[in-house]
Amino acid sequence: MDFMRLLKSLEELLYEVMVMLVFFPRTLYLTFRHPQRMMDYADTELGDVQSEQYSDTLSPPLFLMMCLALGHVIELALPSSSEAAMPGFLQDTQNLLMFRVFMFSLLPLVLSLRLLSGLGIALDRETLRPVFYSQCFVTAPITLAISVSTNLWQLGGPNQIMVANVLFAGGMIWYLAQQTLWFRGKLKLGYGGAVLNAVGSVIAALVLITLTAVLIGFATAREMAT
């Protein structure tokens, strides 16, 4: 009986892995093609029973993690991989991926908190979840763009740097444009107010990410010194 249960578990695991290979590019394509529609889709899917949620795409947090994992694979494939220069505990692949997931998840978190504040909605686990999931959809592609851009910059060639600059600038413009449209639709603002909310929230998130990275770097350096 235990052996049969193990086989069944392996069967489900294999199926889920294969499904991700199909639905990851689909989710990435739909997010680029219809970002606002995907953000609304994240809200509506959470109203379904759990077994029926995100049946034709990846769930937003999983999509975000998959984009970060793909960026990490690309980093390892390039000769300029900087993993060896990371602090000791981040040289472990699992720790590094979890660290990056945490850091980049601050973007959807800060933007979600700004929306709830603007709407005057009380903050709790249930009110935060749908907006956080919506933000994960549009945050995932920009994390991939940032990761690829960073790796191209490290290669240092003029062509690579040009491609990296275009990819990074294009990704950030796309991301800020989606945030502007999101705030404009949700908060019923004009374009000026929506841009201020989008840019201000992204800057606040980036400052928080930078401070977190600096604190972790400081703590690591202090530990190594002792």
pLDDT in tens, 46-61: 766 566 688 888 999 9
Across the range 193-213, mean pLDDT stands at 92
- pLDDT beyond 60 at 84: no
- pLDDT beyond 60 at 124: yes
Average pLDDT, the chain: 85
pLDDT in tens, 155-186: 878 888 999 999 999 999 999 999 999 999 99
What pLDDT does 203 receive?
A: 95
What pLDDT does 219 receive?
A: 66
Structure tokens at 23: 């639905």
In whole angstroms, give the CA distance from residue 209 to residue 142: 15
pLDDT band (50, 70, 90) for residue 78: confident
Across the range 132-138, mean pLDDT stands at 95
pLDDT above 70 as % of the chain: 85
- pLDDT beyond 70 at 81: no
In whole angstroms, give the CA distance from residue 25 to residue 201: 28
List all residues 6 or more positions away from 205 whose beta carbon is below 8 Å from its beta carbon.
Answer: 106, 107, 109, 110, 111
What pLDDT does 192 receive?
A: 94
Across the range 83-100, mean pLDDT stands at 69
Across the range 214-218, mean pLDDT stands at 76
In whole angstroms, give the CA distance from residue 221 to residue 10: 42
What pLDDT does 46 receive?
A: 75
Beta carbons of 75 and 151 less than 8 angstroms apart? yes
pLDDT in tens, 5-34: 776 777 777 777 888 888 999 999 999 999
Burial bucket for residue 95 (CB in 10 Å: 0-12, 13-18, 19+): middle
pLDDT in tens, 189-201: 999 999 999 999 9
Structure tokens at 91: 């040289």
Burial bucket for residue 194 (CB in 10 Å: 0-12, 13-18, 19+): buried
